[in-house]
Amino acid sequence: MSAYTSLMAYQRETEALSEIAGRLGWDQETMMPRGASEQRSEEMAAIESVLHARRTDPRIGDWLASAKPSNAVKKAQLRHIRRSFERSQKVPAKLAVEIARATSVAQGIWAKAREANSFKDFAPTLEQIVSLKCEEGAALADGGNVYDALLDDYEPGATTADLEDMFDALRPRLVALRDQIKDADQPPVLQGNFDEAGQLKLSAKLAEVFGYDLTRGRIDKAVHPFSSGSGQDVRITTRTVADDPFNCFYSTIHEVGHATYEQQIDPAYLLTPVGAGASMGIHESQSRIYENQLGRSRAFTGWLHGQMIDTFGDFGIEDPNIFYRAVNAVQDGFIRTEADEVQYNLHILMRFDLERAMMSGGLAVGDLEVAWNDRFLADFGFAVDMPANGCLQDVHWSVGLFGYFPTYTLGNVYAGCLFEALQAAVPDLDAQLSQGNLTAATIWLRDNLQRHGGLYEPRDLIKQATGADPTEKPLLNYLEAKFLDIYNI
């Protein structure tokens, strides 16, 4: 057997075990009896320990040194394996264990602090995690930029400098748009109660029209919607809120974007590194284009409006144009995950700056709450009322996800680029969307992006799909055109 073949056989088994670990996570959020958590921690630790040992096995280094990839796919496979292996070689085992232990404890501490609405209950833990992640970043950076080294885990090839340029270009136009909207007439708010069975039924129909393959997936309820798994078994969850069916519908469409991406990767890549999404940013671009550019379009909401009347009867909004405005309402809010398309990226820009300030030492962790609240007031024009709605709202930092937040905005930027190209490729897109027909859109995304999985680096993938390097301009143009129209500005 060649070194490449041996390495890939080994890797395939690792990927299979990793799918099992992922499904265990799915089970925990959907099916696990509540009294099983202690045993489940041991089970998760056991499989993670097997995976860690496999990923750091010195034979990988030998195989990588001898493997002679004969084509682009094989080169891409090795690129992924090498990145992961080199990363594991750079981080001292003792530090990796310490980070695993600290973040596992920190999540519980964060949840309690959020419940108690008390940042000081979380601050010492966060301080420890920031310090550990700085140490890890320094080990990975090899003298280079520490934050870049962490970012690279989630978005290979992205740099702080590039992101700063992009985000600096986003901020003024987003703020200007948001300020114009604030002064305009506001659309009506959806009111009333929408029964759960109806929400779940229409949610399943939305999953289907967006191309989610239920023979290789399933939909369950969970507290936080997520997508999980790869290849032939990609599961999503959704949730229902009685007076806010949009929460259910757009959570579902968002997760279907993530899930169909995994489902539509070339089956030849099953259980290999290339057989998964290219990066967090690319993944988010798929969930976002499904949810926003397609799902919240005037054309598609026209169809959804009819579906809601069929499902729930008269619910108080008869005019599809008013329905479209209600779906896209821009409103004050503290919470990132509930933010509208215009303000969402302002949340990310703020987190990007704050997490870099903590890592560089420019912001003491103990001062985060004050810094957060000052920045929020400046960016959003109203004050945070309590830490649970402020710096304690996201789980990310507690589990060590530094360098992750910017990939959300990168996803939105990529979605903007892809949507521009999709509109050019499918001239009658709106006519199709107004019939609830996503076929041409999802096939275009499959053929130009999704099927490649991790074959290309993220920026190259976008360039190949759209014909141009990714920039923030298409997203801004799209947002301005859409929301100036909605708000009659």
What is the closest distance, in whole angstroms, from the C-beta atom of residue 4 to a copy of itself in the complex? 19
Report the C-alpha gap between 353 and 396 in whole angstroms.
15
Tokens representing residue 259 in the block: 């899930």
Please, are residues 99 and 132 in contact by the beta-carbon 8 Å criterion? yes
**Footprint on this chain of a copy of itself (rule: CB under 8 A):** 12-13, 16-17, 19-20, 23-24, 27, 31-40, 42-43, 45-47, 49-50, 213-218, 231-233, 235, 270-271
> Between residues 263 and 297, which has the closer beta carbon with respect to a copy of itself?
263
Report the C-alpha gap between 426 and 23 in whole angstroms.
37
Q: In what order do the strands lie in the sheet with 235-238?
A: 219-221, 235-238, 227-228
What is the closest distance, in whole angstroms, from the C-beta atom of residue 364 to a copy of itself in the complex? 40
Report the C-alpha gap between 274 and 452 in whole angstroms.
8
- Cα 154-157-163 angle, rounded to 5 deg: 80
292, with CB counted inside 10 A (0-12, 13-18, 19+), is buried
* Distant-in-sequence, close-in-space partners of 86: CB < 8 Å, separation ≥ 6: none
> Between residues 259 and 388, which has the closer beta carbon with respect to a copy of itself?
259
> Between residues 189 and 214, which has the closer beta carbon with respect to a copy of itself?
214
Dmax (CA) of the chain: 69
> Between residues 67 and 236, which has the closer beta carbon with respect to a copy of itself?
236
Closest CA to 235 of 251, 208, 256, 253: 256
What is the closest distance, in whole angstroms, from the C-beta atom of residue 203 to a copy of itself in the complex? 17
Please spell the DSSP secondary structure of 304-355, one letter per residue.
Answer: HHHHHHHHHS--S---HHHHHHHHT-----S-GGG--HHHHHHHHHHHHHHH
Strand partners, 221: 238
Closest CA to 482 of 209, 276, 296, 270: 296
Please, are residues 387 and 118 in contact by the beta-carbon 8 Å criterion? yes
* Distant-in-sequence, close-in-space partners of 457: CB < 8 Å, separation ≥ 6: 156, 157, 278
Please, are residues 368 and 357 in contact by the beta-carbon 8 Å criterion? no
Q: Does 255 participate in catalysis according to the annotation?
A: yes
> Between residues 223 and 378, which has the closer beta carbon with respect to a copy of itself?
223
User: What amino acid is encoded at 325 in this protein?
Assistant: R
> Between residues 211 and 470, which has the closer beta carbon with respect to a copy of itself?
211
What is the closest distance, in whole angstroms, from the C-beta atom of residue 28 to a copy of itself in the complex? 10
What is the closest distance, in whole angstroms, from the C-beta atom of residue 233 to a copy of itself in the complex? 4
> Between residues 225 and 231, which has the closer beta carbon with respect to a copy of itself?
231
What is the closest distance, in whole angstroms, from the C-beta atom of residue 328 to a copy of itself in the complex? 33
- Cα 86-89-95 angle, rounded to 5 deg: 130
What is the closest distance, in whole angstroms, from the C-beta atom of residue 456 to a copy of itself in the complex? 24
Report the C-alpha gap between 342 and 74 in whole angstroms.
41
Q: Pick the catalytic residue: 136, 155, 255, 355?
A: 255
What is the closest distance, in whole angstroms, from the C-beta atom of residue 18 to a copy of itself in the complex? 9
> Between residues 30 and 437, which has the closer beta carbon with respect to a copy of itself?
30
Closest CA to 280 of 445, 101, 469, 150: 150
Task: Indicate which residues carry an active-site annotation.
Answer: 255
